[in-house]
Amino acid sequence: MKEFNGIPVSPGIAVATAFIYDPKAPQLPRYEISAEKTDAEIHRFEKAAAKAKVDLEKIKDSVPNGGGSTESLMVDSQIAMLDDPEWRSRVAEEIRGGKNAEWALNDASDFFIRLLESSGDVYLKERAADISDVTKRVLRQMNTKGSDESISPLADLPEDVILVSRNLLPSDTLAMDKRKVKGFVTETGGRTSHTAILARAFELPAVVGIRSLMKEVKTGDRIIVDGIRGVMIVDPTPEREGLYERYRTEWQLRESRLLTLNHLPAETKDGKRILLMANIELPEEADSAVAHGADGIGLYRSEFLLMNSRVEDNEEEQFRAYRSVLEQMGGKPVTIRTFDMGGDKVVRSVSNAPETESNPILGWRSIRFCLDNPKLFKTQLRALFRAGFQKNLRVMFPMISGTQELLRVYKTVEEVKDELRSAKIPFNADMPIGIMIEVPSAAMTSDILAKYSDFFSIGTNDLIQYTIAVDRGNERIAYLYEAFHPGVLRMLRIIVQNAHKAGISVSMCGEMAGDPLCCALLIGLGLDGFSMSSAVIPEIKRIIRSVTVAEAEILAGQALELETVAQVRQYVEEWMSERFGEK
C-alpha cells in the first residue's frame, strides 16, 4: 500500500481500478464484444489488414530505386509481416477472448514486439519496429472516421475506473463515460482549473497535483481517491479500505442531511436574503441545480458548447441550448456568459482560434477573441437575445478589462438588436446586461463600469490569478493562489462598494463563492449573491442561515485590517470553528 497527498478539488470518496489515460499515446477504442460478434470482428480485422497490404504494394511500386533496393526490401518485409499466419491467428485468438479488433490487434502485436525485443538479436529487433509500423497502418484502416478523429478511449471504458492522468483537458472530461468514471487524479492542475470545476459539476471525487503520479500507478491497480482530504491510496490494505468505506458512508449521510434544507431560503439570521445560484457548463446540469435548491443559474459557461461540437455558426442550435436551460429552470433567473474560450479552455473546433501563443492566459481569448470575430460573436448574441424573449434571461460578458472595451461590446449588441428588429424577429430588447469583474483593471475602474452595467459578477478564479500573478492551473505555485490575500480582499471591497454606490447588484461566481470557509466573510463584504457548483449549495445555505450580517460585517472589517494571508486565514478559521465547531 502506498499513500500520496495532492490538492483536493472535488469532494467524495471513490474506490475502483486505475485507468491510465495518456492523450499523447495512440488512442484505441477498447470494448468487449459478445461471442456471436467475434466472426464479424475477425472479418473487420482481416479487411483492414488486406487494405493495408494494398497500400503497401502501392508504396512498393513507387519506390524510387525499384525492386531489390533497400527501401523495397523494407516494404517487402512489412508485407510479409501482414501475411504472417502466426500474428494473424494471435489477433483472432484475442478477439475470440472478447476484445474488439483494435484492442486485440494492439495486444497481439505487443506480445510479438516484446518477444522480439528481448531476443537481443539486432535483426529481430528491427522486425519489432516493423510490427509496430504495420500495426499502426492496420489500425488506421480500421478507423472509419479517420485516424485523427478516433473515438476517445474515455468514451468507451470496459469497467468502473478511476482516471489517472498527467493532465486532463476540459474536453477530455466532457468526452468521458460518466457512468464508468468514479473519480480522477492528475499530476497537474489547481482548485480552479476547469477540469476541477467539471469534476465538481459531475460530482466526481478528484485530487490533483500528485507529483510522480504516472510513475507510481499503472492501469489495473486498485486505488482510493479521497477528494475531501486530498489523498490517493494505491493498493490499499483491507483495513484501509474498510476505513474509507466508513468515511464514504459518513459523507453520504451528511450530504443527504443537507439536502433537507432545499426548500428553505438562503437567508441570514437577521433576515438578509442572499441569492444562491448554480454554475453550469452543460444544459443537462440544470436539473442538478434545481435538485440542490438553486435560486437560478448564476453562470452558464457557454463556451463548453463549442468544445465538442461545431456550433460557432449555428444560431439555432445555440438558441435551443439556451432555451432548454431556461425551460429546465422554470422561470428562475438564468445568467448566460458569452463565449469565454482560451486559457485552459482550448476550443479546437472554432475556426480562427489561435494555435499557440506564448502567454495564452493573457492572450487573444474570451471577449477579445469575440470582438475580433464579429460573425461568431453576433451569432451568439442573436441566439441569446432571441432566447431571452419573454424569459428570465440575463447576459454577461467575460474578461472585460475596461470601459472602452465594454463600449465596443455595446456597439455590437446594438447592431444585433437593429438586425433583429429589422427582420421582425422577436427578442428581448431590455435584457439585463452584466459583466464579469475578473481583471484587476476592471476592479479598479468598477465605479465607471457600473454606469454601463446592470449587474456585476465577480470571477475570483481569474481575479485572484491576475491579481497575484499566479497561474490558477499550476500545482507548483498553488500555495500562492490565495483568496485570503489582503490584496484580493481589498479589491473585493472596492468592487462591492462601487456596485452599491451605483445601485447595481454584485454577486460572485468564482470558486471562492462556494468555499464554506469564505462564506461569512463574503456576506460581511456585502455581496448580494453567490453562484457555485450545485453540489455545494446546501452547505453554503446552512452557513448563511446560521450567521447575521452584523457579525459577518465585523468579521470582514477585522479581516481587512490584517497584513498577511496566514493571519487572515487563521482569523477566519477560528471565527468559523467557534460558530460551527469545525474548520
* Known active-site residue 509: yes
For residues 278 to 317, the per-residue mask of contacts with ligand PEP, x marking binding by CB under 6 A and - elsewhere, is ---------------------x-x----------------
Distance of CA 94 to the CA centre of its chain: 35
Other residues' Cβ atoms within 10 Å of the Cβ of residue 390 = 9
H helix intervals, 277-391: 286-291, 304-307, 315-328, 366-372, 374-387
Whether 45 contacts 95, CB under 8 Å: yes
Question: Smallest distance, Å, CB 91 to Mg ion?
Answer: 49
Q: Could you tell me the three cell numbers for 437?
A: 469583474
Binds ligand PEP by CB under 6 A, chosen from 462, 475, 528, 539 = 462
Question: Smallest distance, Å, CB 463 to ligand PEP?
Answer: 7
Q: Which does 281 bind (CB under 5 to 8 A by kind): ligand PEP, Mg ion, none?
A: none
Best CA proximity match to 454, nearest among 497, 414, 397: 397
> Which of these ranges, 205-213, 371-379, 456-464, 550-558, lies near ligand PEP under the rule CB under 6 A?
456-464
Binds ligand PEP by CB under 6 A, chosen from 232, 280, 509, 540 = 509
Q: Which does 509 bind (CB under 5 to 8 A by kind): ligand PEP, Mg ion, none?
A: ligand PEP
Whether 60 contacts 72, CB under 8 Å: yes
How many residues bind to ligand PEP according to rule CB under 6 A? 10
Catalytic option among 292, 370, 485, 509:
509
* Dihedral sign from CA coordinates of 301, 511, 558, 547: positive
Q: Which residues, including other chains, have CB under 8 Å from residue 362's CB and lie 6 or more apart?
A: none
Binds ligand PEP by CB under 6 A, chosen from 209, 342, 459, 526 = 459
Q: Does 460 bind ligand PEP (CB under 6 A)?
A: yes
Residue 521 burial (10 A CB sphere; 0-12, 13-18, 19+): buried
Q: Does 141 bind ligand PEP (CB under 6 A)?
A: no
* Distances 281 to 7, 11, 547 between C-alpha atoms, Å: 22, 18, 31
Q: Could you tell me the three cell numbers for 567?
A: 493571519
> Which of these ranges, 69-77, 81-89, 453-461, 573-581, lies near ligand PEP under the rule CB under 6 A?
453-461
Binds ligand PEP by CB under 6 A, chosen from 135, 461, 467, 534 = 461
Catalytic option among 194, 370, 485, 519:
194
Whether 539 contacts 516, CB under 8 Å: yes
> Of 207 and 436, which has the nearer Cβ to Mg ion?
436
Calpha distance 555→558 (Å, rounded): 5
Q: Give the DSSP letter of residue 364.
A: S
Question: Smallest distance, Å, CB 279 to ligand PEP?
Answer: 7
Whether 466 contacts 449, CB under 8 Å: no
Question: Smallest distance, Å, CB 267 to Mg ion?
Answer: 29
Q: Which does 365 bind (CB under 5 to 8 A by kind): Mg ion, ligand PEP, none?
A: none
> Of 427 and 466, which has the nearer Cβ to ligand PEP?
466
Q: Does 438 bind ligand PEP (CB under 6 A)?
A: yes
Q: Which does 191 bind (CB under 5 to 8 A by kind): Mg ion, ligand PEP, none?
A: none
Question: Smallest distance, Å, CB 337 to Mg ion?
Answer: 9
- Count of positions (residues) in the chain: 583
Window 339-358: residues binding ligand PEP (CB under 6 A): 340
Best CA proximity match to 20, nearest among 133, 157, 150: 157
Q: Which residues are catalytic?
A: 194, 509
* Binding positions for ligand PEP, rule: CB under 6 A: 299, 301, 340, 438, 459-462, 509-510
